[in-house]
Amino acid sequence: MQAASFCEVLIENLNKSSVEDIESLVTEALQYIFEEDYVFKMNPTTKRGSVTYVFTLQKSGEEIDDIYESQGGGLIQVISILMRIVTILINKKHMAKTLILDESLGMLSEEYIDNASKFFKDLGNKLGFRIILVTHQQKFIDYADVAYQVDHGKVTKL
């Protein structure tokens, strides 16, 4: 599938999908993982005759202007993964049900790894897709169904 047609299918399906459901999924995930009162919103805007969505984040009722500066990169990484999962769910006819994350949670503080691991494992199980996580953070191993270590080209099952 060409990139342009893939994007057209994604936007078309997103318009058919419930934006409220997406907002709810991301909001619930952020609240569970970070134990904070986050609210994720998707605000439709029209640019050049097409509807696009601008993402905003609120914490305790206040909109966050610069998410990276005020909340850190780990929160942005979690939102990014959640939006990839939404893309898989919306385009399930066009995409495999496997999500490969290569150091995608590298900026997540260690204090949130347990909650993030539990959430993504449960979500993957409920939605019927696999998450393959490549990481240097050993704490994720506690939640893996299968774990491998790669050291200087040698692969060992843990």
- Amino acid of residue 39: V
Phi, psi of 109 (to 5 degrees): -60, 145
Burial of 14 (C-beta count, 10 Å sphere; 0-12/13-18/19+): buried
Nearest to 115 by CA among 31, 25, 22, 27: 31
CATH of 3-157, one of 3.40.1350.10, 1.10.630.10, 3.40.190.10, 3.40.50.300: 3.40.50.300
Residue 123: per-residue pLDDT: 83
Tell whether the model's pLDDT for residue 5 goes beyond 60.
no
Query: Tens digits of per-residue pLDDT, 89-105?
Result: 777 666 677 888 888 88
Tokens, residue 136:
């240097």
Q: What pLDDT does residue 4 have?
A: 47
- pLDDT digit string, tens, across residues 109-141: 889 999 999 888 888 888 788 888 888 888 888
Where b means 16+ CB within 10 Å and e means fewer, 36-72 reads: eebbbebeeeeeeeeeeeeeebebeeeebeebeeebe
Looking at residue 154, its pLDDT comes to 93
Say yes or no to pLDDT of 54 above 60.
Answer: yes
Q: Which residue ranges make up each domain of the chain? A: 3-157
